[in-house]
Amino acid sequence: MTDKTPLLIDTDPGVDDALALLMAFNDSRHDVVGLTVAAGNVGLKHTVANALKLCEVAGRADIPVFAGCAGPLLHPAPDAGYVHGQDGFGDVGYEPAKHKAEAEHAAQAILRFSHAHAGKLLLVALGPLTNIALALKLDPTLPQRVARFVVMGGAVTCQGNITPAAEFNIYFDPEAAHIVFDAFERIELADWEAVIAHGLHHARVAEWLKAGTERGRFYDRISEKTRLWSIDRRGDHWFAADALAMAYALEPDGALEVLERPISIELEGRHGRGATVVDWRRQEGLPDKAAILMRYDQDRFESLIQAALAAG
């Protein structure tokens, strides 16, 4: 028996997913029980290969990786290969991991882990919510067994990154997001606007990447392309979205301001599709279900990243 918190991560690696995973691997109070993988940043073949490779590089090939949905529930959506590289890991041509994904589907694995760790499971979603929506369709009682559910997604005043109003993870599969946001009574949310408020200065990131560890060297390679893209497009700060969500998940006491509000997912409209509509003034009388991260201790966030890259 372990008194560590069981942590299940649904992810679409993805350069910022990789950083978040390294943070989770480096946390002694959490036990990463599995990675369930979705398509999102790039296609499923790549996101699964990337998850396996990251585990191998980190010496964590013992963590089972489960392939999930190869696309959104209903409507095809464009990926983010232009940010993360066409293979999702910067197109550096890494040698594939030696081990393979499990045979079990990610949605079934989510349900199995929810039973195995009922009442204790920390579920963190770093990609489109397709796998979790499918798990909910298979078994709507899933939320009863999840202790905490942390999501990277949304843009809480509709200042999106993929459309003017929508954030990538939600926009990629709004129907899945609708199912998930409807089903869970409480969702701890690190949205894109919080990410923008917690940028990482490129010069500091470059310093951390000199750690000289295998993890740091690999991360330097796979993240170079997206960091250069970011300098070109977004200026001095890098926005590692999934890393902020993981900081909130691993060390929630680092949150300096959290606001609870009702939230719903918009499915239609040229500008509205994929938007996360927060009822800031509680006009509709719906229950508060999103615990929205507004401010996180920046020093704590940066220390978690630095330590994850320096870990050997």
Note whether 193 binds ligand BDR by CB under 6 A: no
- Are 258 and 288 in contact by the 8 Å Cβ rule? The answer is no
Q: Which is nearer to Ca ion, 38 or 263 (CB)?
A: 38
Tokens 């990926």 belong to 79
The span of 69-77, 119-127, 195-203, 257-265 binding Ca ion (CB under 5 A) equals 119-127
- Report the residue from 16, 27, 173, 251 that binds ligand BDR according to the rule CB under 6 A: 16
- Report the residue from 169, 223, 230, 276 that binds ligand BDR according to the rule CB under 6 A: 169
- Report the residue from 6, 14, 153, 160 that binds Ca ion according to the rule CB under 5 A: 14
Mark 242-261 with x for binding to ligand BDR (rule: CB under 6 A) and - for no binding.
Answer: x-------------------
Q: Which is nearer to Ca ion, 14 or 68 (CB)?
A: 14
Residue 212 gets the label, from left (phi > 0), alpha (psi -120 to 50) or beta, of left
Note whether 161 binds ligand BDR by CB under 6 A: yes
Q: Which is nearer to ligand BDR, 106 or 145 (CB)?
A: 106
Beta-bridged to residue 8, according to DSSP, are 34, 123
- We find the least distance from the C-beta atom of residue 246 to ligand BDR, in angstroms, to be 11
Using CB under 5 A as the binding criterion, the count of chain residues that bind Ca ion stands at: 6
- Are 266 and 273 in contact by the 8 Å Cβ rule? The answer is yes
> From CA 90, how far away is CA 53, in angstroms rounded?
13
- Report the residue from 10, 17, 173, 251 that binds ligand BDR according to the rule CB under 6 A: 17
> From CA 126, how far away is CA 160, in angstroms rounded?
16
- Are 192 and 182 in contact by the 8 Å Cβ rule? The answer is no
Q: Which is nearer to ligand BDR, 15 or 145 (CB)?
A: 15
Q: Tokens for 296?
A: 């996180």
Is the peptide bond prior to 269 cis by the omega test (within 30 degrees of 0)?
no
Note whether 36 binds ligand BDR by CB under 6 A: no
- Are 117 and 89 in contact by the 8 Å Cβ rule? The answer is no
- Are 168 and 275 in contact by the 8 Å Cβ rule? The answer is no
Binding site for ligand BDR (CB under 6 A): 14, 16-17, 41, 80, 126-127, 152, 161, 167-169, 192, 241-242
